[in-house]
């Protein structure tokens, strides 16, 4: 059986848009995409400018030291996981090394300290650090110095 053609002719009007209209539409689409990329509530969040600046701030605050194991950290870790509703705020973020960040994954901990203790245990490293304090670098330096002189 042949179906009756139901599509009205105005359906095709779209192909007759002027090139200016098309250009305008593309511009709008681009603007919308940018808006989407900077929205904290989407999967593309880690590419957003917001995250990049936050990430930089966290690394700066913690002086590039993993707050869990004391190694060099290049990542900003959500203490309470983002996928479980953790906030993108400085209080919920600490500098972490790749290993610690990956190992913790989306596990939920009651506090930074409990997370740190767990990570130190499962990663077989000696935990060095209290949560970000101003004298962090000095402590580490002193510790490394002591180790160097002991051995």
| Residues at the site binding Zn ion, with contacts judged by CB under 5 A | 66, 68-69, 71, 97, 100
Residue 102 contacts by C-beta under 8 Å, 6 or more apart in sequence? none
Least Å from the CB of residue 103 to Zn ion: 8
Which of 126, 6, 19 is CA-nearest to residue 66? 126
User: CB-wise, 37 or 61, nearer to Zn ion?
Assistant: 61
The C-alpha atoms of residue 111 and residue 30 are separated, in whole angstroms, by: 41
Compare residues 48 and 96 and give the one whose CB is closer to Zn ion: 96
From the CB of 36, what's the least distance to Zn ion, in Å?
32
DSSP 17-44: --HHHHHHHHHHHHHHHHHHHT-TTSGG
Of 79 and 100, nearer to Zn ion (C-beta) is: 100
Q: Minimum distance between the CB of residue 100 and Zn ion, rounded to whole angstroms?
A: 3
């Amino acid at each position: 059986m042949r179906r009756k053609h139901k599509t009205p002719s105005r359906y095709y009007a779209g192909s007759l848009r002027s090139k200016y209209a098309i250009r305008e539409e593309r511009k709008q689409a681009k603007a919308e995409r940018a808006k989407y990329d900077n929205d904290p509530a989407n999967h593309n969040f880690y590419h957003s400018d917001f995250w990049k600046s936050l990430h930089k701030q966290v690394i700066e605050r913690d002086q590039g030291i993993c707050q869990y194991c004391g190694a060099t950290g290049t990542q900003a870790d959500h203490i309470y996981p983002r996928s479980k509703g953790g906030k993108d705020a400085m209080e919920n973020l600490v500098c972490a090394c790749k290993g610690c960040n990956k190992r913790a994954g989306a596990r939920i901990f009651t506090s930074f300290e409990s997370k740190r203790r767990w990570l130190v245990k499962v990663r077989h490293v000696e935990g060095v650090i209290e949560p970000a304090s101003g004298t962090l670098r000095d402590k580490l330096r002193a510790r490394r110095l002591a180790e160097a002189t002991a051995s």
